[in-house]
Structure 1
Amino acid sequence: MTRASCHRWLLLGVAAATALLLAAGPCAAQSSSGSSTRRYSTPAQYICTDPDHTTLCRILKGAGPDSKGAAALNDATVSNTVFAPLDSAFSQDSKTVARKLGLSAFEKIYTSPKQADRLLQNLIIPGQAISSNGFKTGSDFKSMLGQHLYFKGAWFTKDLYVQSEEVKAKIIQVDIPAGRSVVNTTDRVPVPSAPFLGIGHH
């Protein structure tokens, strides 16, 4: 084989490899986007395996396995609706969360089981796994903590919101199956209002 022939075969090989990489690109993207339809055994499993929920996972662990909120999130047999604030939500609402939970600084929530559990309970509508089709404007549900959570829709878009007594949070991703529950991610933290806490500053 001449040097020119070898060079031509080398170029053809590079071109073929490039074509394979380009062809694989959309498939990889499709696989990545399809991962959101994965079923999780519990809400806690989803929260603690998703890279955008590291803060909520730390709060869940800080509440302790025997706390009411953490126990519900780790239970595969109950039907609950769970709101999971993203890490960016906690960054935005950290001062509000600390203030409403009676903490001197947000970071103290990781070592304050009662406050961590209060927050977790307010992210859960117990006893029913409500799909996004059931999010009707004006619907009023009670969280596990006993506080009101309201659903709201935007007038000119399909955006959905869940509003606690203190914060209106946009629902980013809906209907993530986790055991018999469903998880919805949010861009804000639906914090409970202070009067229900009955706890002092730490």
Structure 2
Amino acid sequence: MIFAANLKCNHTRESFKSYADALNKALKNKDEEIFVFPPNVAFLKEDLKFTQGTQNFYPCFKGAFTGEIGKEHLDEFGIKCVLIGHSERRILDNEALIKAKFDFAKEQNYTIFFCIGEDLKTKNLGNSKDFLKKQLEAIDLNYEKLIIAYEPIYSIGTGISADKEDISDILETLSVLTKAKLLYGGSVNENNIKEIQTIKHCSGVLIGSAALKIENFIKLIKG
């Protein structure tokens, strides 16, 4: 089972060091796959019992790209895992840039967490599946290090998770399109995580606010 934490614009290097130390200690005998995506300024150069990933990057090695982070910067921290397509990034990144990020990450043999999700209007119109399929059109669904995270926009940061039946239906559809591991994200918390984990084709969860405090994330992992 995959447990991934997206810390978004939270934590400093100092606070993430405490977070990582506590997580390392808790994971001493755990077999699950654990991923954490801290802010870029909080990356650590330490031995970690979990995979550290980046929430964002620019598809370049380095260069005249003001304010961006390239492969050279990720290499300094040994980072080979990237998050692409999160709805909070899609507000800023167009489809061409998302595809460029995916293609670059694939060339570098990175593990890619690719996020897809629809808003409530799309869901209510019954267009969820077509919308999600369109978000996947430009990427290689056969890439061996691809992990797809289904995160309905109406559930992110709202405290309202999608219905189990809706999640199951979407993951069933995605399982026909790809052999990639499928995750669910969107207001995952201690009240719903066990039910989500029982859904067919669900290989794990991508957790946001419920993972900001390390004691909560550890509790979710331990079940």
Common fold: TM-score over 0.5: no
TM-score, scaled relative to structure 1:
0.26
TM-score between both structures, scaled by the size of structure 2: 0.25
Q: Of Structure 1 and Structure 2, which has the larger fraction of its residues in helix?
A: 1
